[in-house]
Amino acid sequence: MAWQSILDQERVVETLRRALQQERVAHAYLFHGPEGVGKRAVALEMARALQCTEQTTEACDECRACQKTRRMVHPDVHVLFPYPKGTDEGDVAERIQRLGENPYAAVDFVRRPSLSDPSETSNKQVMYHIDRVQDDLLRPMSFRPGEGAYKVALVTDVEYMNETAANAFLKLLEEPPPQTVFLLTTNRPEQLLPTIVSRCQRLRFDPLLPESIETALVEREGVDADAAAMLARMADGSYSHALDLAQNDALMTSRELVLDYFRAAYTQKVESLTSCIQEIAGQGREQVKGVLRLMLRWVRDLMLYRTMGDEASLVNVDQAEAVARFCRNLPDADLETMVTLVEEALHLTERNVRVRLVLTSLAQALARAMRGRSPGSLYEPLPDAELRAVQAT
């Protein structure tokens, strides 16, 4: 498959192919861009192309080197994840293995504290500690390659390097040993030391096209065509997000919850609102974010339906009737404000504000927006005694 296995990102792939062809591969590349668009996948494919003994611009998939890079056992390819102190070596090895099987899968400790339970979140600090950078990066990369043409290090989520580690790494980047290639990936290039960034050739990754995600879900994951169309539109250009959604049995339940929440918010019936918030919040912070993203989809569908009627191509195809009913019954609803409010709630949830509080304030503000009144902001304190009672639950 080689480069063909990469979804979109033609500009990036072309740049790397040309560098390989002209034998002008940089010592260090920084792949930056949104989550789940293939930065690690491209880095792995680049590592494979560099080690392949038969072809220059891409992995042949046949030679011994290609077989080893495919199985993630090539001695001159080092893959690093940041992880919490005390993490089991076997856990790390399994994640690297899974990455080899599907380079788009979310297998890192940042997004998946536990491989077996995708909904689990962790408070343990994920980090590249200096001792690990010494043992797993600096030392192996200062030797000559053992059997490949290059020594390649894939340093994922490089923004998780603390300052001491980053400075030690910088020394190596400033005087890279011959035949070494560093492939760094990050969603947040602004958090890196400028001195590290300036040592790298930067390549920006774009969000994926929904059509590419849809095709990949059908062809690679065996998702049925209708579901793939819906998931691709929900995935915000991120294939790993689409994979998460596809594997998430709770997704359909969450979509029902969104409707229940909107209903409860509108009627302001404390009891139904409380139980709805309980159910959403009980699923953990990651799931709450998922539900809030579904809310955004829903309101965007309302906007589409309001302008285009039955012609609208909705994300929630199967909930078209509910969308139509909402638009009929609440013609004055301020949909733009509803989007802003949900985005604000998402932001607060990411910033570790108590989720019950966020969902309660959001319900109150949405109720006003659904009636077309100015809803204020989520950041305002809640004066209402009844709603305080909801928070206390």
Residue 66 lies near Zn ion (rule: CB under 5 A): yes
Residue 2 lies near Zn ion (rule: CB under 5 A): no
Residue 50 lies near Zn ion (rule: CB under 5 A): no
Distance in angstroms between the alpha carbons of the first and the last residue of the chain = 53
**Both structure tokens of 277:** 């918030």
Range in contact with Zn ion (rule: CB under 5 A) among 54-62, 172-180, 221-229, 321-329: 54-62
Residue 52 lies near Zn ion (rule: CB under 5 A): yes
Residue 193 lies near Zn ion (rule: CB under 5 A): no
Write out the DSSP string of 165-212: HHHHHHHHHHSPPTTEEEEEEES-GGGS-HHHHHTSEEEEPPPPPHHH
Residue 299 lies near Zn ion (rule: CB under 5 A): no
Write out the DSSP string of 279-333: HHHTT-HHHHHHHHHHHHHHHHHHHHHHHHGGG---SSGGGHHHHHHHHHH-TT-
The one among 60, 72, 168, 303 contacting Zn ion by CB under 5 A: 60
Q: Shortest approach of Zn ion to residue 48 CB, angstroms?
A: 8
Q: Shortest approach of Zn ion to residue 101 CB, angstroms?
A: 18
Range in contact with Zn ion (rule: CB under 5 A) among 48-56, 122-130, 299-307, 367-375: 48-56
Residue 25 lies near Zn ion (rule: CB under 5 A): no
Dist. CA 173–CA 77, nearest whole Å: 17
The one among 2, 63, 317, 320 contacting Zn ion by CB under 5 A: 63
Residue 147 lies near Zn ion (rule: CB under 5 A): no
Residue 362 lies near Zn ion (rule: CB under 5 A): no
Residue 149 lies near Zn ion (rule: CB under 5 A): no
Please choose, from the candidates 355, 336, 201, 225, the residue with its C-alpha nearest in 3D space to the C-alpha of residue 290. Answer: 355
Q: Is-contact 232 221, C-beta < 8 A?
A: no
The one among 10, 14, 54, 226 contacting Zn ion by CB under 5 A: 54
Q: Which residues bind Zn ion (CB under 5 A)?
A: 52, 54, 60, 63, 66
